[in-house]
Homo-oligomer: A and B are copies of this chain.
Amino acid sequence: MEYLTSERVAVLGAAGAIGSNLTQIILTLRISNNVVMFDPYAPGLEGAAEEMYHCSFPGATITWTTDLAEALEGTSYVVTSGGAPRREGMTREDLRRDNCKIAKELGEHIRKYAPDLKFLIVIFNPADITGLTALVHSGLPPSRVTTLAALDSTRLQTALAQKFGVPQDKVTGCRTYGGHGEKMAVFKSTIRIDGKPLTEYLEEGLLPREEWEAVQEHVRNGGARIIKLRGRSSFQSPAHHSALMLKSVIDGSEYPWPCGAYIAEGEFAGVMMAADTTLTRNGVVVRVPEGDPEDMALLRDSYEHLIQLRNQTIEDGLLPPLKEWPRYNRHLGVPPR
């Protein structure tokens, strides 16, 4: 079994639960045989690296470093879960300020040490804002930066499969868009349960309105629920999806879930958010999601929330004022608002 590439992948936060799992999946799926693990916490990082050595992946070169510049130089792909983790009782937004500092530093390091980076995947929360912060400071084209956004959609798929008692992949078209947070927009218009549109279940009263709202709420609390059950935030599913996203940009394979992407123009411009995306060897291609009026109202609401978070991050001095964005990143225009 050959590796898909020998170009180097840097996993940032590799001592953590997501990062160490992600490193393992990258090697298990033979995505790259060349992985550098970065984390500021040396003992845990060495321990995680030793575990990888003890797997004895054939032909793999696995290194580890606590020096971010060293991790980035010569690296083609970066996947980062290297933020502070979310703890029980915290909202994703509570993490914003601390993690945007980390994202800003990452962007600045990428600009300096890996200006030709092929792709950056940001996992740490709130990923829309940390991803945006890294994008603006990195100088990378927006097509080369994405965030993990799939879990809300797969949690929706899971919840509906459990509610209707059908196998999970009989529930299709699950999409959540906008922010990955309490204000996510859980779309309904494309969902089918064993072939039958969810909207028909709603119209026929087979799925009472309040039960659908409960499902949406369940999905919004999906992350918190894992923390409650496992005593730690989810790590296997984020690692899994991030690895598949990376695989997609390396080999062009289909990645079927929404990704976070920068919206350059139109009604939803000036933020990164979960959208209708395609991952390709050239990066992420983004389209504004389409849904019924109710879905779109949810998306507008989520967008407004993202604008607020973005503006707070500007006020914190972690993102530059909008009019200066093109000076920080020549691939960006001045957002309309």
Q: How many copies does the complex hold?
A: 2
Sample 23 A-B pairs with CB under 8 A, ordered by A number. A21-B21, A24-B25, A24-B236, A25-B28, A43-B228, A43-B229, A43-B230, A44-B230, A44-B231, A46-B229, A47-B230, A48-B230, A51-B236, A52-B236, A53-B168, A54-B151, A55-B240, A55-B241, A56-B154, A56-B157, A56-B168, A56-B257, A58-B169
| Contact present for B169 and A236 (CB under 8 Å) | no
Which residues from 17 to 39 on chain A have a C-beta closer than 8 Å to any C-beta of chain B?
A: 20-21, 24-25, 28-29
A311 contacts partner chain B, Cβ-Cβ < 8 Å = no
A225 contacts partner chain B, Cβ-Cβ < 8 Å = yes
Which residues on the B side are within 8 Å of A43 (C-beta)? 228-230
Over the window 166-184 of chain A, the binary record of Cβ atoms lying under 8 Å from chain B Cβ atoms (1 yes, 0 no) is 0111000000000000000
Closest to A229 in B: B47
| Contact present for B240 and A50 (CB under 8 Å) | no
Q: Which residues of A are interface residues toward B (Cβ below 8 A)?
A: 20-21, 24-25, 28-29, 43-44, 46-48, 50-56, 58-61, 151, 154-155, 157-158, 161, 167-169, 222, 225-226, 228-231, 234-237, 240-241, 257
| Contact present for B226 and A47 (CB under 8 Å) | yes
Closest to A244 in B: B55
- Are A158 and B50 CB-contacts (below 8 A) given A167-B61, A240-B28, A241-B55? yes
Cβ contact of A236, chosen from B20, B60, B158, B229, cutoff 8 A: B20
Which residues on the B side are within 8 Å of A29 (C-beta)? 28
Complex CA–CA separation, A58 to B171 (angstroms): 11
Which residues on the B side are within 8 Å of A161 (C-beta)? 53
| Contact present for A59 and B169 (CB under 8 Å) | yes
- Are A155 and B54 CB-contacts (below 8 A) given A24-B236, A29-B28, A236-B20? yes
Complex CA–CA separation, A240 to B257 (angstroms): 27
| Contact present for A237 and B54 (CB under 8 Å) | yes
Closest to A174 in B: B56
Which residues on the B side are within 8 Å of A240 (C-beta)? 24, 28, 55
Taking the nearest CB of chain B, how far is it from the CB of A185, in angstroms?
18
Cβ contact of A234, chosen from B51, B230, B235, B257, cutoff 8 A: B51
Cβ contact of A229, chosen from B50, B54, B58, B158, cutoff 8 A: B50
